[in-house]
Structure 1
């Protein structure tokens, strides 16, 4: 499956969403290792060394048109620091999964909404998705509200969804089609 070798940056009011760079290791470690951040995610990085290894793997894959995973940093324009992250996984042609995370100190400031909207734009407008979906742990009510706010529809719930590391979690699945996306108000 061939996709773009690199994704162009996406700019929002407060952020630049761009592919991860090595300089993101330190700011990512500042939030990705926090228990509040890890509470609702499957991929838990234990310490700054694991975060740096993740960043290095992500950077090493950039430029490969065969890759199917794009990891992005949400860089705050005012500080130049990564305050959140996102990913796009091309699961098969035209079907993409999205996910996002925000530094806990930045919760309830609209950052997640900006990341989510930027991810949708990249998925539909740059990667030509026909359908995009995301999974949200049911106990993460804020991300469920965010998914609906940016246009996703709740499709189904799973009580025992594989959440990584041999664990299972209750999740809600949300989806959005290209015609629905292009009909959203701006």
Structure 2
């Protein structure tokens, strides 16, 4: 088994996906506390203190060969500012959950697709996943389309999945296998 303690940056046409840094706290506050951003995510950071704590924990885990979670910042090449985020969670052998978020002001510009494609490539090419999956909260049509656009297939709908503490709702599950990934045309 390959042990990865730090992921090197991945570039897309407009973005650099890299491990979160402490300097990302202010940029994350600019979008993670927005209602539009929080509407379709399970873990909601309610204020600057929560975001600072999240970033500090993510940075502290870097370099630990036991970690199974990688949090990334999506840095816009032009501005050098983090305008989105992504995560990869290594689960049962060779399976990785991925997820993404993007500043609402940057929606409908193709940047979410760039984040999604980068996460898929990291999962298969660097983490050596055989399968990846993601969950999309009910009603989040943009993320459902994005999952399909990056090559994932709809697996199932769960009508009463825990979405936030004490609440449940519809969640859609998407997946892709390693062979599906290497058969994609980009």
Q: Would the TM-score normalized by the shorter structure come out above 0.5?
A: yes
Q: Give the whole-Å Cα distance in 2 for the aligned partners of 1:17 and 1:162.
A: 29
Q: Give the whole-Å Cα distance in 2 for the aligned partners of 1:11 and 1:61.
A: 23
Q: Deviations over 1:119-151 (max 9, x none)?
A: 000000000000000000120000000000000
Asked whether 1:23 is paired with 2:42, we answer no
Match of 1:127 in 2: 127
Q: Give the whole-Å Cα distance in 1 for the aligned partners of 2:81 and 2:99.
A: 20
Q: Give the whole-Å Cα distance in 1 for the aligned partners of 2:164 and 2:118.
A: 26
Structure 2 length normalisation: TM-score?
A: 0.98
Q: Give the whole-Å Cα distance in 1 for the aligned partners of 2:69 and 2:164.
A: 17
Match of 1:68 in 2: 68
Q: RMSD of aligned C-alpha atoms?
A: 1.0
SS of the aligned residue for 2:164 comes to coil
Q: Give the whole-Å Cα distance in 2 for the aligned partners of 1:63 and 1:92.
A: 21
Deviating above 6 A after TM superposition, structure 1's stretches of 4 or more consecutive aligned residues are none
Q: Give the whole-Å Cα distance in 1 for the aligned partners of 2:3 and 2:43.
A: 24
Does the CA-based 8 Å contact 1:15-1:74 persist in structure 2?
Answer: yes
Q: Deviations over 1:80-114 (max 9, x none)?
A: 00000000000122000000000000000011000
Can you give the 5+ residue segments of structure 1 that lack an aligned partner in the other structure? none
Q: Deviations over 1:22-42 (max 9, x none)?
A: 000000010000000000001
Match of 1:54 in 2: 54
Match of 2:87 in 1: 87
Aligned residues: 186
Q: Give the whole-Å Cα distance in 2 for the aligned partners of 1:2 and 1:121.
A: 16
Does the CA-based 8 Å contact 1:161-1:168 persist in structure 2?
Answer: yes
Can you give the 5+ residue segments of structure 2 that lack an aligned partner in the other structure? none
Match of 2:168 in 1: 168
Does the CA-based 8 Å contact 1:131-1:175 persist in structure 2?
Answer: yes
Q: Give the whole-Å Cα distance in 1 for the aligned partners of 2:8 and 2:161.
A: 32
Q: Give the whole-Å Cα distance in 2 for the aligned partners of 1:55 and 1:108.
A: 26
Q: Give the whole-Å Cα distance in 2 for the aligned partners of 1:2 and 1:49.
A: 35
Q: Give the whole-Å Cα distance in 2 for the aligned partners of 1:83 and 1:95.
A: 27
Q: Give the whole-Å Cα distance in 2 for the aligned partners of 1:162 and 1:2.
A: 33
Deviation (angstroms), 1:12: 0.1
